């Protein structure tokens, strides 16, 4: 696979896709229990408003705020042949030390639903995401269609959370590699459908990769006698899975991956740990154009891992938190970006100016990975996005 530096996308000022939903939409969906057909005009209105807000704020990546989704991962997995969504799933099927599952249990939450493999996995040929792209195309001029950003669920999402042997029936798949091969084929079909619909900007949302930076999870992994591979071996399998998923995409489809450490009720995060442990594999082996990285608090570690980023790849620094309304100091954030550029330059033998050409800025995560969103209102979110745009304008004047 060949890589090129993409100026269009990624962009200097980015956001991660999910945006705060208006209260009337939340009430209609969860309080009033309106049907899909009753919700659609309300979703359309909310999407029209949030798209206008993104354009007015000067953002080139345009999403629908994920307003048609209940959670950030959407409906891809339950619609695959061989996958079934289970309400109130049996808790014994989960690895209790995986950070999101551990956090659920600590806060008295039990996963409300999960998706399990029950047969051979196959894409039906009908995308549950494509209508989201088509609607955005219907309200944007054609010259902006290439700016549309769609987020996809991580291909490992319904694997890491399950106890070894519970992700799929042994009579269906003999091992992880067989299972991952069919998952990858499903993603290849999905990306092909989306490409033919005009999508050129894809962002995988993956908290799981960052979990491999968590000492707590890695300790849990070591003491789990059910595991048949080491955590390092599983990370390798996941990277191979990703590379297989995107192996057939056209060169002009930009793909990125967003790593975070969780975004749950009351702005809670799930895990901690710097990227140092996985940086070499993450940057050099995973075939992504762009990495959207959480960097708003010390839990993500320092910028040193960025010295391993190859010169044909980009990184978007999530130095602005989406979790709380307090605004960061703009000058301090600019200095952090310059610091990151200097570390990248040292690792690659570039100048600061050259390294800056591969950088952008964003919030560290979405504002509403789950429907209710973080402890910030829509106006507070807009102020955060305006700050991102201001930082980008001052570091990269005249660039989108």
Q: What is the pLDDT of residues 82-114, one digit of tens each?
A: 999 999 999 999 999 998 888 877 777 778 889
What would the pLDDT profile of 124-158 be if each residue is shown by its tens digit?
Answer: 999 999 999 999 999 999 999 999 999 999 999 99
| Mean pLDDT, residues 38-52 | 98
Q: Which of 207, 208, 216, 119 is nearest to 168 (CA)?
A: 119
What would the pLDDT profile of 235-288 be if each residue is shown by its tens digit?
Answer: 999 999 999 999 999 999 999 999 987 655 544 445 567 899 999 999 999 999
How much of the chain, in percent, has pLDDT values that exceed 70?
Answer: 95
Return d(Cα 12, Cα 354) in angstroms, integer. Answer: 14
Return d(Cα 317, Cα 13) in angstroms, integer. Answer: 10
Return d(Cα 113, Cα 137) in angstroms, integer. Answer: 32
Interior angle at CA 63, CA 124 and CA 52, nearest 5: 140
Structural domains of the chain, with CATH = 23-72+126-156+184-395 (3.20.20.210)
In the predicted structure, residue 374 carries a pLDDT above the cut 90: no
Supply 79's token pair: 């619609």
Q: What are the beta bridge partners of residue 370?
A: 71
If DSSP codes are grouped into helix, strand and coil, which group holds residue 226?
coil
Q: Are 363 and 322 contacting, i.e. CB atoms less than 8 angstroms apart?
A: yes
What would the pLDDT profile of 325-347 be if each residue is shown by its tens digit?
Answer: 999 999 999 999 999 999 999 99
**At which residue do the structure tokens 């591979």 appear?**
229
């Amino acid at each position: 696979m060949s890589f090129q530096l993409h100026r269009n996308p990624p962009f200097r000022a980015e956001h991660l896709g999910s945006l705060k939903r208006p209260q009337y939409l939340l009430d209609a969906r969860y309080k009033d229990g309106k049907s899909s057909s009753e919700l659609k005009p309300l979703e359309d209105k909310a999407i029209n408003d949030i798209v206008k807000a993104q354009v007015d704020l000067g953002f080139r990546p345009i999403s629908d705020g994920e307003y048609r989704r209940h959670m950030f991962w959407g409906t891809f997995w339950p619609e695959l042949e061989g996958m079934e969504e289970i309400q109130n799933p049996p808790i014994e099927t989960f690895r209790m030390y995986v950070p999101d599952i551990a956090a659920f249990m600590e806060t008295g939450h039990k996963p409300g639903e999960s998706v399990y493999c029950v047969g051979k996995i196959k894409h039906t040929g009908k995308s549950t995401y494509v209508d989201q792209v088509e609607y955005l195309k219907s309200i944007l001029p054609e010259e902006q269609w290439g700016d549309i950003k769609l987020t996809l669920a991580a291909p490992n999402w319904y694997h890491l959370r399950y106890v070894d042997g519970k992700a799929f029936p042994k009579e269906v798949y003999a091992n992880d590699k067989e299972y991952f091969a069919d998952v990858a084929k499903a993603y290849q079909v999905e990306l092909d459908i989306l490409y033919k619909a005009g999508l050129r900007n894809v962002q995988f949302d993956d908290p799981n990769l960052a979990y491999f930076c968590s000492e707590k999870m890695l300790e849990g992994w070591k003491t789990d006698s059910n595991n048949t591979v080491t955590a390092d071996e599983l990370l390798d399998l996941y990277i191979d899975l990703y590379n297989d998923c995107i192996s057939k995409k056209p060169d002009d489809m930009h793909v990125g991956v967003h790593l975070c450490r969780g975004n749950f009720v009351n702005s809670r995060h799930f895990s901690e740990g710097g990227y140092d442990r996985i940086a070499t594999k993450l940057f050099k082996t995973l075939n992504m154009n762009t990495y959207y990285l959480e960097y708003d608090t010390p839990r993500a570690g320092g910028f040193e891992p960025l010295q391993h980023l190859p010169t044909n790849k980009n990184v978007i620094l999530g130095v602005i938190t989406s979790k709380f309304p307090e605004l960061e100091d703009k000058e301090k954030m600019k200095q952090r970006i310059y610091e990151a550029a200097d570390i990248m330059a040292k690792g690659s033998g570039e100048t600061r100016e050259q390294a800056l050409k591969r950088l952008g800025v964003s919030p560290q995560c979405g504002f509403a990975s789950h429907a209710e969103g973080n402890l910030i209102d829509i106006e507070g979110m807009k102020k955060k996005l305006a700050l991102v745009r201001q930082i980008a304008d001052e570091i990269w004047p005249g660039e989108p």
